[in-house]
Amino acid sequence: MSNQLQYNLDSYKCCVIIPTYNNEKTLQRVIDNTLKFTQNIIVVNDGSTDATSTILKEYSFLKQLHHKRNKGKGSALRNGFKFAYEQGYEYAITIDSDGQHFPEDIPVFLKKLSQKEQNKELLLIGARNMNQDSVPKKSSFGNKFSNFWFWVETGTQLQDTQSGYRLYPLKVLDKIRFYTTKFEFEIEVIVKAAWRGVAVENVPVKVLYDETERVSHFRPFKDFTRISVLNTWLVLVTFLFIKPRDFLRSLKKKGVKKFLIDDVLVSSDSSIKKSVSIALGVFFGLSPFWGLQGFLAIGFSILLKLNKTISFLFSNISLPPLIPFVVLASVKVGEFLLGEKIEFDFRTIENIKMLTHIKVYVVGSLVLAGFSAVLLGIISLALFNIFKPKNNE
């Protein structure tokens, strides 16, 4: 065991957590190789029914948690994190017990941890070389799938989001409420940590897929369905809460004037890109998609690679005090286009609930939204070109 490495682990109050379930062929080798670097090890036996319990009796000097029945990898990790934090550890490196990870990569995590900013927490994920011939095709596809949704949900692009070889900041995790208990937990934890301001980054690690020894408990249909449901929920939360929250925090921190100058006028985006972003926000802000304007504006901004902040800002053109005027204008445009006349009580929009009135309102709303978007897009493009900062091309 390297005394220097053990000292570094102790100085960062870092331990190694090994969750295991029916990996009798590889567990002992993983523990022995990890012991070459540290004794700060916590093994979580997730209800194994093979020889795991017998093997662990040989390591009575290590801290161990035993589940009476199999609860899932998420539960094993969550209980391991809680126990480690109670033991005074501030960081935990997780290593899978199927033999695919190399304990000699532990220093890679510690080196990166030593470079972190003083007030910035890190969550590190070991990035595997997924182009190796030994890597199963389903693992490579699943990783790309996971990487894409993590980018949508956090705005951070990573090379590998599925590796179980990670370093977690325990103090931050202790403040987050988690709901998942199976493999999908490893997605939930990195997304929610990113939402908390934790920097989620990759570090390079080696990987070994030995199909003669490795036992995978991933159930393609059940677990992929769980992951898909989780990502659907996380995307909804991202666009309906996280993005608006971050926008309002930025607006409050900078102030309206500085925000408009820094994020709109002096944005590094081209004048055309900013103008189209404004037009997109205005279109959804005036469209009949009540409650979804911000969600749609940000979603299409990502899809079209526009400025998400600007689009979201202008999607809020339908502020509550202005809603009756927006609805009235939409109805009048609809009446003109369809040649129909409906009674409109300015004090209430209950009439809009009638089927015939809905048609008039929707048609008028979409036309008004489209016209306003084009008009404000052209005006904003002219203004951006007139007031373009001198240092911008």
CATH number at residue 79: 3.90.550.10
What is the arithmetic mean of pLDDT over 193-218?
A: 82
Report, as an integer, the average pLDDT of 269-285: 90
- Distance, CA of 350 to CA of 180 (rounded, Å): 42
**Are 328 and 367 contained in the same domain?**
yes
Average pLDDT value over all residues in the chain: 85
Domain assignment present for residue 393? The answer is no
Looking at 158-167, 187-196, 240-249, 327-336, which range is the least confident one? 240-249
Q: What percent of the residues of the chain are helix, what percent strand, and what percent coil, each to the nearest 5?
A: 55, 10, 35
User: Residue 313 and residue 380: Cα distance in Å, rounded?
Assistant: 14
pLDDT of residue 385: 82
Instruction: Tell me whether residue 43 is in a domain.
Output: yes
112 and 60 in a common domain: yes
Answer whether residue 170 is part of any domain. yes
Instruction: Indicate whether 245 belongs to any domain.
Output: no
Domain that residue 325 falls in: 255-386
- How far apart CA 239 and CA 235 sit, in angstroms, is 6
Looking at the fold, whether 213 and 292 belong to one and the same domain comes out as no
The reply to whether 372 and 227 lie within a common domain is no
Distance CA 19, CA 30 (A): 11
Rg for the chain, CA atoms, rounded: 27
pLDDT beyond 60 at 345: no
- What pLDDT score was predicted for residue 334? 86
Predicted local confidence at residue 165, as pLDDT? 97
Cα–Cα separations (whole angstroms), residue 393 to 246, 268, 269, 275:
29, 10, 11, 16
Listed residue (122, 120, 195, 189) closest to 152, CA to CA: 195
At residue 236 the predicted structure's pLDDT band, cuts being 50, 70 and 90, is confident
Element at 203 (helix H, strand E): strand 199-204
Shared domain for 76 and 50, answered yes or no, is yes
- Given a contact cutoff of 8 angstroms between Cβ atoms, the answer to whether 173 and 121 are in contact is no
C-alpha triplet 301, 304, 310: angle, nearest 5°: 30
**DSSP tag of 350:** G
Residue 135 lies in a domain: yes
State the sign of the Cα–Cα–Cα–Cα dihedral 42, 45, 50, 56. Answer: positive
207, 269: one domain: no
What's the structural domain count of the chain?
2
Query: Would residue 354 count as lying in a domain?
Result: yes
pLDDT value, residue 129: 79
Whether 243 is in a domain gets the answer: no
Most confident range, picked from 64-73, 256-265, 331-340, 373-382 = 64-73
Domain check: are 182 and 279 in the same one?
A: no
Residues 115, 166: one domain? yes
Specify if 250 maps to a domain: no
- Terminal-to-terminal C-alpha distance of the chain: 58
In terms of domains, do 190 and 287 share one?
no
The pLDDT tens digits of the residues spanning 17-54 come to: 999 999 999 999 999 999 999 999 999 999 999 999 99
Last residue of a domain, one of 238, 267, 296: 238
pLDDT per residue over 153-170, tens digit each?
998 999 999 999 999 999
If you average pLDDT over residues 179-203, what whole number do you get?
Answer: 95
Q: Is 70 exceeded by the pLDDT of residue 14?
A: yes
* Residues 262 and 207 both lie in one domain: no
Residue at which a domain ends, from 238, 273, 300: 238
Long-range contacts of 289-295 (CB under 8 A, 24+ apart): 293/318, 294/239, 294/240, 294/243, 294/244, 295/236, 295/239, 295/240
291 & 185 share domain: no
* Residue 338, pLDDT score: 85
What pTM, to 2 d.p., does this model score?
Answer: 0.71
Instruction: Answer with the one of 207, 238, 269 that is the final residue of a domain.
Output: 238
369 and 336 housed in the same domain? yes
